Structure 1
């Protein structure tokens, strides 16, 4: 019986391989390996972004002789851009860098925030499986390669491993809004440092990142009638 199952599996594999097209007019669409991308949901998260940007910039600035820096803020900054510029200024000053109020003779720090909108109802991929209670305070996640049991008592209660296991995932569907943040440090001749990163944005907070959705079209309340014949 086992030999029969093995032979059938091999035959199925050969059949599937034979069905694969050897030539296509365009590349076959495939998925990227699973990755994670942070979702911005609070002003505190903006500070985390600022700290990461400052660390990457400082690492590059240390490779050259020290020079003052000037943060070139946008003429009409969004709430996000204003906060990021303020927090980055604070971090650089606290780290001992000379942040000038004039661009003359300074390295210029430019910040570009590109907001992009994808289609609604994007899929959200998480761990496959559902929780089931084995006993009071003991849970099992089914349909996972190595079922994870929880029954660790913490204080007067039990630790629900299902919630712990999924706490890393942002609630709700995958946002359709993302931002790409690029910070550049340059003089009139070259780029000294550059940092680019992407983040999810809560769709309800789009206005904070400069995305203004158009007003819905109001229904027309008037109707035209064409009169024919003599009155």
Structure 2
């Protein structure tokens, strides 16, 4: 028994010694698990506009009311054009005076930054599995962000499984993301600002102004055999 205890202590000390106390650079660590919305329809753009308007309105109420003017970017892509139109609608419906001229108005500016990450990004998934138990009873085991539970039921397990997983977008983790920033300012300062990030379906990249280069056509090499004297 004493030998086993000594061996266990030695193994613990050995493992503790493997963890470096000092490193020249920080050790990479994961963030806590979070969720990020994936844009897959024009209706989602309206949801973004409404959410942005609510954030801006909360800040604008702290200052005396003034008309606002929406400054659209030059040559807007389909997403930017739709976002500007839907944000204008949200502001008008919320009682704000949206001016057609910048004179005497607060300026609302849209900025959309597109990002392309590596195509082989880590693929983390929500786990919800159906397990058959004795007597035809099914158990639904769910693990979400480190929290696990088992739901045992005889009827409707398939529906429960689909319901629990429906909040997660299908397919692989997109390589495309956008950062949307909307600012309200006058000539001296920012009065309100909202920034948010979203996944974008890789098949819809062109809607966000991302034009991928066409693949180069393979070069054709021909070999000629020369016969006879030159």
TM-score by length of 1: 0.86
Q: How many residues align?
A: 227
Determine the C-alpha separation between the residues in 2 that align with 1:141 and 1:159.
12
Contact map agreement 1:137 1:159 (CA 8 A) in 2: no
Determine the C-alpha separation between the residues in 2 that align with 1:181 and 1:47.
13
| Unaligned 5+ runs, structure 1 | none
Partner of 1:21: 20
Shift of 1:217: 0.2
User: RMSD value over aligned CA atoms?
Assistant: 2.9
Further displaced range: 12-21 or 200-209: 12-21
Contact map agreement 1:139 1:160 (CA 8 A) in 2: no
Determine the C-alpha separation between the residues in 2 that align with 1:146 and 1:58.
39
TM-score by length of 2: 0.86
Determine the C-alpha separation between the residues in 2 that align with 1:69 and 1:41.
30
Partner of 2:58: 59
Question: CA-to-partner distance for each residue in 1:107-129, whole Å, 9 max, x for gaps?
Answer: 00000000000001211223456
Contact map agreement 2:130 2:138 (CA 8 A) in 1: no
Q: Which secondary structure state, in structure 2, belongs to the residue aligned with residue 16 of structure 1? A: helix
Residues 1-231 of structure 1: matches in 2 within 5 Å?
12-128=11-127, 130-134=129-133, 138-141=138-141, 146-151=148-153, 153=155, 159-221=158-220, 223=222, 231=230
Q: Which secondary structure state, in structure 2, belongs to the residue aligned with residue 32 of structure 1? A: coil
| Unaligned 5+ runs, structure 2 | none
